[in-house]
């Protein structure tokens, strides 16, 4: 009898143990390897993106382990169909998919577009694209959405997004469909956006991404729904802000600018911001649908304001190696030429500067280059161009090296422009970058929506308007010429 009871107890507790272990078996989630920034494979080979972070949060809140299975798009769908994955991290709902899957709650909203080759710049309606083959990723929702437009399109399917983009770059297709988002690799982005300008893209539709399970797995779907309901909305918003910049889109972007920095940025007599950078950022805001606010600082304080979260973007002319770990360059805006301005009389030859005392701004990143080029030069660092002008007039330095356009404005403003001679052969170039917090991936992605080439075009178009007419007239035929190119 005793042995019989022991056997019963053993079977009973084994059964309980089996249930506990089966409940603790991790849920397998199929993930697309190329849908950045929503779900993708990181440089280290790990699953990453907004949906991955949402599922990790789901796992933590519900105390249920999950594991991710990285696949190309169509195989990620097939994995849920054949049961090798329990859940798909997120996909759009289509009529075709409803026969194989049941869909959970909306977790992300995205916009889908058609990207048009630059040779099709005159096409501004989807109907005009009927003669062209449209590139799509096999198994994506784009085909179903486009078929609903009422136009008979032809398609060319690709197994992966990389294959599609390679074909687009090679000119094998002139139109392709894609989600709103951005590319991870800068070289790829510049290649694509130069050939497929973002201002020419056409909206297909807005779609919601949902977690998905097999059509017969209603019990698991209910657990997923209940689990997402337990995640606080504030936490979801934090993750969306990190990956997509949604919070910034709603409330506006604050940008740190340097005051008294004509022709780039200044506060006008009307108390409002003026300058080329103001125009540039306002144009950017209009294109990406963001309100832009400007806060003026002394040059060093803008970076500190960015680190403290007071602003979301600052400007930088320092190299990436010199930045603190918390900050990163988002993209290059333009180059600025710095030239030597000699006081009272010009140099007879360039090498004459080698024995002179010269002023340089303390924020300049070419001090070591000057010292190597002119080993005998005496360099004095200053905080402003005004200080260098005053020091020159006091005969403490022979002249100064500074951003040419900025220096010319200061010389005109102080009515001493005729006392200084610009030396075009002594020239150094600074690249000005937008600077953001490294954690703000969403904002970086938004800024990347406009290619570097587009900003150069815009900058060249607007910068001429920021030289006052009186300034240009006075400089015609003189040694001082606008130096910003």
In tens, the pLDDT along 3-39 reads 554 454 444 444 444 344 445 689 999 999 988 889 9
Rg of the chain taking only CA atoms, in angstroms: 30
Mean per-residue pLDDT of the chain: 80
Residue 320 pLDDT level (bands cut at 50, 70, 90): low
Task: Give the DSSP letter of residue 364.
Answer: -
Q: Are residues 368 and 231 in the same domain?
A: no
Q: Are residues 350 and 471 in the same domain?
A: yes
Written as six digits, the tokens of 373 are 């080029």
The Cβ of residue 185 has, within 10 Å, a number of other Cβ atoms equal to: 10
With H, G, I as helix, E, B as strand and everything else as coil, classify residue 267. strand
Respond yes or no on whether the N-terminal peptide bond of residue 443 is cis (omega within 30° of 0).
no
Q: Are 64 and 227 in contact (CB under 8 A)?
A: yes
Q: Is the pLDDT higher at 297 or at 426? A: 426
Residue 467 pLDDT level (bands cut at 50, 70, 90): very low
pLDDT score at 249: 43
pLDDT score at 266: 80
Q: Are residues 222 and 359 in the same domain?
A: no
Residue 355 pLDDT level (bands cut at 50, 70, 90): confident
Question: Has residue 152 been placed in a domain?
Answer: yes
pLDDT at 90 over 60: yes
pLDDT digits (tens, 9 = 90+) for 335-348: 888 999 999 999 88
Residue 456 pLDDT level (bands cut at 50, 70, 90): very low
Question: Has residue 393 been placed in a domain?
Answer: yes
CA pair distance 262, 181, nearest whole angstrom: 35
Q: Are residues 183 and 81 in the same domain?
A: yes
pLDDT score at 454: 52
pLDDT score at 130: 93
pLDDT score at 239: 83
pLDDT digits (tens, 9 = 90+) for 194-206: 788 777 889 898 8
Q: Is the pLDDT higher at 276 or at 458? A: 276
Q: Are residues 216 and 339 in the same domain?
A: no
HSE-CB for 461 with a 13 A CA cutoff: 9
Q: Are residues 90 and 222 in the same domain?
A: yes
Q: Are 275 and 261 in contact (CB under 8 A)?
A: yes
H or E stretch covering 480: none
Paired strand residues for 178:
113
Question: Has residue 17 been placed in a domain?
Answer: no
Question: Has residue 342 been placed in a domain?
Answer: yes
pLDDT score at 319: 62
Question: Has residue 74 been placed in a domain?
Answer: yes
pLDDT score at 295: 81
How big is the CA angle at 122 (ends 118 and 125), to the nearest 5 degrees? 110
Q: Are residues 208 and 78 in the same domain?
A: yes
With H, G, I as helix, E, B as strand and everything else as coil, classify residue 82. coil
Question: Has residue 238 been placed in a domain?
Answer: yes
Q: Are residues 81 and 201 in the same domain?
A: yes
pLDDT score at 188: 57
Picking from 24-38, 73-87, 100-114, 435-449, which range would have the lowest pLDDT averaged per residue? 435-449
pLDDT score at 189: 58
Give me the domain span that covers residue 346: 335-432+466-475
- Residues 6 or more apart whose CB falls under 8 angstroms from that of 305 comprise 256, 295, 297, 311, 314
With H, G, I as helix, E, B as strand and everything else as coil, classify residue 93. coil
pLDDT score at 9: 47
pLDDT digits (tens, 9 = 90+) for 384-414: 899 999 999 999 999 999 988 888 888 988 8
Q: Are residues 233 and 367 in the same domain?
A: no
pLDDT score at 331: 73
pLDDT score at 126: 92
CA pair distance 228, 225, nearest whole angstrom: 5
pLDDT score at 269: 66
pLDDT at 138 over 70: yes
pLDDT at 473 over 60: no
Question: Has residue 454 been placed in a domain?
Answer: no
Q: Are residues 233 and 361 in the same domain?
A: no
pLDDT at 216 over 70: yes
Predicted TM-score (pTM) of the model is: 0.56
CATH number at residue 397: 3.40.190.10
* Of the residues 242, 274, 303, the one at which a domain ends: 242
pLDDT score at 57: 96
DSSP assignment string, 409-445: HHHHHTT-GGGEEEEEEEEEEEEEEEEEETT-HHHHH
pLDDT score at 209: 95
Residue 483 pLDDT level (bands cut at 50, 70, 90): very low
In this structure, the strands spanning 202-214 and 108-116 are antiparallel
Q: Are residues 236 and 371 in the same domain?
A: no
* Of the residues 203, 225, 242, the one at which a domain ends: 242
* Of the residues 242, 275, 309, the one at which a domain ends: 242
pLDDT score at 179: 84
pLDDT digits (tens, 9 = 90+) for 146-187: 988 888 999 999 998 889 999 999 999 999 998 865 555 544
pLDDT at 475 over 80: no
DSSP assignment string, 303-316: HHHHHTTS-SBEEE
Q: Are 358 and 402 in contact (CB under 8 A)?
A: no
Number of domains in the chain: 2
Question: Has residue 298 been placed in a domain?
Answer: no
pLDDT at 231 over 80: yes
Region 221-244: what's the mean pLDDT? 88
Percentage, residues of the chain above pLDDT 70: 78
């Amino acid at each position: 009898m005793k042995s019989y009871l022991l056997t019963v107890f053993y079977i009973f507790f084994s059964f309980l143990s089996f249930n506990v272990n089966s409940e603790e078996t991790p849920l397998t989630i199929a993930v697309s390897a190329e849908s950045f920034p929503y779900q993708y494979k990181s440089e280290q080979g790990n699953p990453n993106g907004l949906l991955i972070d949402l599922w990790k949060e789901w796992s933590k809140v519900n105390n249920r382990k999950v594991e991710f299975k990285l696949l190309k798009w169509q195989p990620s769908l097939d994995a849920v169909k054949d049961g090798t994955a329990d859940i798909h991290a997120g996909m759009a709902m289509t009529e075709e998919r409803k026969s194989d899957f049941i869909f959970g709650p909306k977790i992300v909203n995205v916009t889908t577009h058609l990207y048009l080759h630059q040779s099709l710049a005159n096409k501004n309606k989807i109907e005009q694209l009927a003669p062209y083959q449209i590139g799509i990723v096999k198994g994506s929702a784009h085909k179903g959405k486009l078929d609903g437009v009422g136009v008979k399109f032809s398609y060319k399917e690709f197994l992966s997004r990389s294959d599609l983009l390679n074909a687009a770059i090679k000119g094998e297709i002139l139109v392709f469909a894609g989600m709103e988002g951005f590319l991870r690799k800068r070289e790829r982005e510049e290649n694509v956006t130069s050939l497929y300008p973002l201002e020419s893209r056409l909206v297909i539709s807005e779609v919601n991404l949902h977690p998905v399970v097999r059509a017969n797995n209603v019990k698991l779907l209910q657990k997923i729904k209940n689990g997402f309901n337990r995640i606080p909305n504030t936490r979801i918003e934090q993750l969306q802000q990190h990956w997509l910049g949604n919070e910034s889109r709603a409330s506006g972007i604050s940008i740190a600018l340097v005051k008294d920095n004509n022709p780039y940025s200044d506060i006008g007599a009307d108390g409002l911001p003026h300058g080329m950078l103001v125009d540039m950022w306002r144009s950017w805001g209009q294109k990406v649908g963001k309100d832009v606010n400007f806060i003026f600082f002394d040059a060093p304080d803008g970076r500190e304001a960015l680190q403290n979260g007071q602003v979301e973007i600052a400007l930088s002319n320092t190299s990436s190696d010199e930045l603190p770990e918390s900050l990163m360059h988002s993209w290059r805006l333009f180059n600025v030429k710095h030239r030597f301005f000699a006081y009272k009389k010009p140099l007879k030859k360039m090498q004459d500067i080698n024995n002179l005392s010269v002023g340089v701004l303390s924020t300049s990143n070419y001090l070591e280059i000057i010292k190597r080029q002119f080993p005998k030069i005496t360099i004095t660092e200053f905080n402003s161009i005004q200080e260098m002008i005053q020091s020159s007039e006091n005969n403490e330095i022979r002249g100064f090296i500074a951003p040419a356009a900025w220096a010319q404005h200061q010389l005109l403003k102080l009515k001493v422009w005729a006392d200084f001679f610009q030396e075009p052969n002594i020239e150094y170039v600074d690249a000005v970058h937008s600077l953001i917090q490294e954690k703000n991936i969403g904002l970086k992605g938004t800024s990347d929506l406009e290619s570097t080439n587009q900003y150069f075009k815009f900058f060249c178009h607007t910068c001429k308007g920021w030289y006052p007419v009186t300034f240009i007239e006075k400089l015609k035929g003189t040694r001082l010429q606008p130096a910003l190119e």
